[in-house]
Chains A and B, each alone.
Chain A
Amino acid sequence: MIDLLDPVKPLVSPSASGSIAVDGEPEGKVMGKVVARRGHLTLLPAGRCYRMSASSPSVVLLQTVFGPDTVERWFEICQKY
Chain B
Amino acid sequence: MTNTSIQLGDAPNEHGYRPFTLGGFHFERDEHFVHVQWPTGRHVAAVEPFLKALMRDVAWNFFYGTVNFDSVIGTVNHYGNVDLFAGRFNEEYRKAELDHSENFPHDEIKETFQAILNDWVNEEFDPFAAPMETGSAYGEKTGSNGAAVTRTRIAAKRMVGLPADEPLRSDESGFPVNRAFHDVDQSEPDVDVVPGYEDEVSAFNFFAYLSRSDVTWNPSVVSVCRDSLLCPTTEEFILPIIHGNDRVEWFVQLSDEIIWEVEDRETGKPRAKVVMKAGDCAAMPADIRHQGFSPKRSMLLVWENNSADLPDLIARGEAPTVPVTF
| A interface list, Cβ under 8 A from B | 4, 6, 17, 29-43, 45, 48, 61, 63-65, 72, 74-75, 78, 80
Contact = CB atoms under 8 A, between A and B. Distances in A.
Nearest to A33: B192
A32 B201 contact: yes
B158 A43 contact: yes
Contacts of A42: 189, 202-203
Contact of A63 (B188, B191, B228): B228
A35 B228 contact: no
Given A41-B222, A61-B252, A29 B194 contact: yes
A36 B194 contact: no
Given A34-B190, A35-B189, A38-B185, A65 B225 contact: yes
A57 B13 CA distance: 64
Contacts of A72: 324
Given A29-B194, A34-B191, A65-B225, A41 B204 contact: yes
A54 B234 CA distance: 29
Given A43-B159, A63-B230, A32 B324 contact: no
A41 B201 contact: no
A40 B184 CA distance: 12
A35 B192 CA distance: 9
A14 B298 CA distance: 39
A18 to B, nearest CB: 9
Given A33-B201, A41-B204, 6 more contacts: A37-B187, A39-B205, A41-B159, A43-B159, A74-B323, A74-B324
Contacts of B324: 72, 74-75, 78
A6 B323 contact: no
Contacts of A45: 200-201
A9 B188 CA distance: 33
Contacts of B201: 4, 31-34, 43, 45
Interface string B271-296: 00000000000010000000000000
Contacts of A64: 225, 228
B227 interface: yes
Contacts of A40: 188-189, 203-207
Nearest to A41: B206
